[in-house]
Chain A
Amino acid sequence: MVENLQDEKKTLTIVLTEGPYRSQYVEMAHNIAESALNKGYGVNLFLYMDATHIPKKNQNPHSFPNVGERMKHLIKKGAEVRACVRCATARGHACDRESYLKGVSITSVYDIPGWVRDSDKVITLSG
């Protein structure tokens, strides 16, 4: 049983490579992130490859939960979210500053080693 982390704040990093709606990986990442935040973890979410579609504004899925809205909620709760600039640029998200949700940073894969170094756990969700 995992206890709340009162004394020493631990950090979880999630590396996500899958895009929204086609698979359940995004929902799984959100659920894990939210649970970790609720237990007092610091949560980092690195969006790689198709996962860089997730923080796009104005998503309007008719049959699925809106992953953008869920991400907004996680950011509000304290999750740090960064997207790979190479992947985001390839998919047309990096050139327009308005295309992403507020609070999502477009950085580079060179942030991964820093986050790994500062993390107690690293989880990869990849199809």
Chain B
Amino acid sequence: MNSVLIIVDKAPYGYEDTFSGFYVAIACLNRGMASDVLLVGDGIYAAIKDQEPVGSVNYPNVGELSYLIFPEGNIFVHLESMQDRGIVEDDLVEAAQIINDKELYDIIKSKTKKTAFIRI
């Protein structure tokens, strides 16, 4: 297999999972493996800009971590999940690439047997 798609559907800080998912994506990119991240459901909160976890939960800022993935890898953010939560494009980091259901389908379809889907 030669690429990974990391799927994150949990909110950052409430769970370790978002940070850990980003960390896998970064590790794969650093080892020369194509790697994208898909944020769906509560996972979209990972792409909110101007996060300030320092001084409160003191977790790494996952919004900033997205720039260790982008532009080499994509940060896909699911549009319908944004709409459900009242999140608009201006709320997101610049690295975010918003995709609707049809685009999500096309992305999944374009992935071949050579892609590992890793849901964290």
Residues in A lying within 8 Å of B, measured CB to CB: 13, 15, 17, 48-49, 86-87, 108-110, 112-114, 116-117, 119-120, 122, 124, 126
Contact = CB atoms under 8 A, between A and B. Distances in A.
Contacts of A119: 1, 116
5 contacts: A49-B17, A110-B31, A120-B1, A122-B117, A126-B17
B27 A15 contact: no
A124 B120 contact: yes
A10 B21 CA distance: 26
B33 A124 contact: no
A116 B4 contact: yes
Chain B's interface: helix, strand, loop or mixed, by majority? Answer: mixed
Contacts of A112: 4, 24, 27-28, 118
A126 B32 CA distance: 25
Interface in B77-120: 116-120
A42 to B, nearest CB: 14
Given A17-B20, A48-B20, A49-B17, A113 B33 contact: yes
Interface of B: 1-2, 4, 16-17, 20, 23-24, 27-28, 30-33, 116-120
A68 B117 CA distance: 27
B19 to A, nearest CB: 10
Nearest to A120: B1
A124 B119 contact: yes
B118 A122 contact: yes
B1 A49 contact: no
Contacts of B16: 49
B30 A124 contact: no
A17 B1 CA distance: 21
Contacts of B31: 110, 113-114
